[in-house]
Structure 1
Amino acid sequence: MKNIFSLLLLAFIIVSCKNNEQKTELETVEVETPEIAYASFGDKIEADNAVDASVMAEKFKAMQVGDSVSSKMVAKVDEVCQAKGCWMRLDLGNDEQVMVKFKDYGFFMPKNIAGKEVIINGKAFVEETPVEELRHFAEDAGKSEEEIAAITEPKRTYSFLADGVLLIEE
């Protein structure tokens, strides 16, 4: 009986030592993450911590005329001023837009970026845009005389004064 017990103990020790000697090798796999290229306009900004346009839309809805908040957001460009590139409208979703102008009229955007994504940094605010200014924007956007004449009332406008913009290049 002692022999059987000794043999079992010896077998257990050998198996235990063998299990401890086994080495697990981890295979290192390199994953390529494509770098996103940006064209920068205005002040130098970073792409991190930008909120989605839909999140910004909710913030705008909660704001009153005259309220402002510092923000950074990412959104798709709907329109750009075709005269100089001095403003753009970004899609907030649900048929809503934000009118973006550039701090101190210090930089302009390319006129051919409709449909591309941008990251903007600056001040978001709500204002009431007068009829005259709405008509000016409509003219800059290339709207027809009839469309411009149809603008007869001021409009509550979601606005953004950008100090820096990153254009996501594809």
Structure 2
Amino acid sequence: MTNKVLVAYASKYGSTQEVAEAIAKIMREKGLDVNLQQASQVRSLEEYSAVVLGAPLYLYRWHKYAIRFLNRHEKVLKSMPAAVFAVGPSFNGDEKEWLETRDQFRKELAKFPWFKPIESEVMGGKFDPANLSFPIKYFLKDLPAADLRDWDAIAAWAAEVADKLQDR
């Protein structure tokens, strides 16, 4: 195993990919050797010493490729430092939406009792009804586009995770 970090992500419309790219950039600036890859494309964690996994929550369900990633790599992840994030609130970002999203993310992670990330975070998301497909587009077409991603908070979280990984 090398001293390389994998930032793996699942993204349907590109918003979570942009967050993962920002996280990887900050971690590189902090001196870490980072690979950025779609979670669905990762076949082995052999070359990594740590993982950051991120995916969106759609209708309060974590993206299926993040779940598959955890299932596929359970054996290695049990003994590897990992951090995890979900991209969530993307409509109005009120307190209720944040609380519900954080609660659902905890429930999603609880499905993996063996998984003990060193950090976990829910980040704001991006919503553009023009990107949606039928039938969900029909129900959400009247909602305005919104981008609740807080790039300063994302950078701070990435720096905190990088510091924790370097301290290990």
TM bin, normalised by shorter chain, reads: under 0.3
TM-score by length of 1: 0.25
Bigger helix fraction: 2
Ranked by relative contact order (alpha carbons within 8 Å, sequence separation 6 or more), the top structure is 1
Report the structure number with the largest CA radius of gyration.
1
TM-score by length of 2: 0.25
Bigger strand fraction: 1
